[in-house]
Amino acid sequence: MNTYKIAVLPGDGTGGEVVREGLKVLDVISKTHGFKLDCQMFDLGGERYLRTGEVLPDSVLKELRSYRAIYLGAVGHPDVKPGILEKGLLLKLRFSLEQYINLRPVRLYPGVDCPLKNKKPEDIDFVVVRENNEGLYVGEGEFIKKGTPDEVAIQISRNTYHGVERCLRYAFEYTRKRNRDKKLTLCGKTNVLTYAFDLWERVFHKLGAEEYPDIQRDYAHVDATCMWMIKNPEWFDVIVTDNMFGDIITDLGAMIQGGMGIAAGGNINPKGVSMFEPIGGSAPKYTGKNVINPLAAIMAGSMLLEHLGEEQAAKDIEDSVMWVTAKKLKSLAAGKMGYSTTEVGDLVVQGLDNKVRG
Ligand code: IPM
Ligand code: MN
C-alpha cells in the first residue's frame, strides 16, 4: 500500500477548523482508495510565535523537507504585526522549498452564487499559474532618506531567465495536460514594465514556438485581464503571470468562483516538497465558531492528492464537493451555509459515496 508522509500545519485562526474537516475527508478517501496518509501535525503560526518568539525554526524547516507534501490551514494572527508570519512562515516556506509555482484553479461549481450576471459553471473554468519565488516578493529594495520629505522607497521586482522559464514551461505543460482549449494567456504589463515583461514575453514566445506549437499563445495586460475576467471569463483556459499580478488576479478569481470559501491553491515544486492551502486568510473573527466554510481546505486536500498521483481520489473529492454546493449549501459564506463547518465536512464525506449522490 502506498504511504505518503504529510506534514500538517493548521496555522492560525480558523486554519485548524478547516484543516480538521480536510483531514476527515482525506482519511475516508484514503481508506476507500487503498493508500495511507501518515500525517504529522506541526505547531507553527501566531500562537507559537507569541509563546516562544519562533516563526519557522531551521530545525523544523529541515524536518519538513523529509515530507511528501505539506497541508496548510491559514497564516495570520491579530496580535502579531502584519508581515511577520506572512514573510517568516508562508513566504519562507514557498521560497526555501522552491515552490516556484502557485497553482490556482478558478472554477464555478454548480449551485454556487456567482456575482457575474448570466455566467454559468461552463463559463468560469480556468487556472492561474502564478510565479511564486520571484518578482516583487523577493523583498529587495531600500529606503533613501527615510522619514524625511525627500524619502524614496525602492522595491525591486526580480525576474531571472531561469525563474521565468521554469514557470512558463510548467504553464505550457499544464495547458497541454489540461487539454481544454489548449490556450495559454500571458498576463503582464509590457507597455509599462518594459524590463520585466520584456523578458517574460520573449521567453514565452521562444518556448512556445520551439516546444509547444500545439498551444495557442495569447497575451493580455494585467488591467485588461481583470476586465476580461469579469466580462468574458470563458475566454481563459490557463493564465500565466508573475508573483504580484498573480496574487491580485487570483483574489479576483476567487470572487468570481464564489468566494474565499471555495478557493484552493497549490505551492508547487515539481521535484520537491509542495504545499497545498485554502487561499483565504485565517479569518480571526470566525475562529472557534464552527461557521467557516471548509470547502477550500477540502479542495486543497484534493489538489494534494492529485499531486501525489492519487488522481481518482482527488476527483472523487471534487465530485462530492460539487454535489454539496449543488444540492446542500445555501451559500458559501461563513455563517450562511445552512450548516456548520463540521457538518459541511460530514456532507462531503457522505457525498464520496456514489449511492448517496444518486
Ligand atoms: C496569498 C496571500 C499571500 C501572498 C500573503 C499572505 C503573503 O495573499 O497566498 O495570496 O501575498 O502571496
Ligand atoms: Mn493573495
Ordered structural domains, the chain, with CATH: 1-99+267-358 (3.40.718.10), 115-256 (3.40.718.10)
Which residue's C-alpha comes closest to atom 6 of ligand 1?
Answer: 86
Residue 358 pLDDT: 81
**CA gap 294, 19 in Å, rounded:** 8
Which pLDDT tens digit goes with each residue over 232-283?
999 999 999 999 999 999 999 999 999 999 999 999 999 999 999 999 899 9
| Opening angle at CA 69, ends 67 and 73, nearest 5 | 120
Task: Please give the distance, rounded to the nearest whole angstrom, from the Cα atom of residue 76 to the centre of ligand 2.
Answer: 12
State the DSSP code for 285: G
Long-range contact pairs involving 93-97 (C-beta distance under 8 Å, separation at least 24) = 93/56, 93/61, 93/64, 93/267, 93/275, 94/132, 94/133, 94/267, 94/275, 95/133, 96/61, 97/64, 97/65, 97/267, 97/269, 97/272, 97/273, 97/274, 97/275
State the DSSP code for 135: B
The verdict on the CB of residue 222 being under 6 Å from ligand 1 is no
pTM > 0.85: yes or no: yes
**φ and ψ at residue 356, rounded to 5 degrees:** -70, -40
Residue 4 pLDDT: 98
The verdict on the CB of residue 247 being under 6 Å from ligand 1 is yes
10-residue averages of pLDDT along the chain (358 residues)? 97 97 98 97 97 97 98 97 96 98 98 96 98 98 98 98 98 98 98 98 98 98 98 98 98 97 98 96 95 98 98 98 97 97 98 92
- Which residues have their alpha-adjacent CB atom under 5 A from ion ligand 2? 247
Task: Please give the distance, rounded to the nearest whole angstrom, from the Cα atom of residue 38 to the centre of ligand 2.
Answer: 29
Residue 103 pLDDT: 98
Residue 342 pLDDT: 98
Inter-residue contact 152 to 143 (CB < 8 Å)? yes
Residue 95 pLDDT: 98
Residue 21 pLDDT: 98
Which residue's C-alpha comes closest to atom 8 of ligand 1?
Answer: 247
Which residues are bridge partners to 71 per DSSP? Answer: 8, 276
Q: For ligand 1, what atom is nearest to the CA of residue 265?
A: 9
Supply 283's cell numbers: 479569518
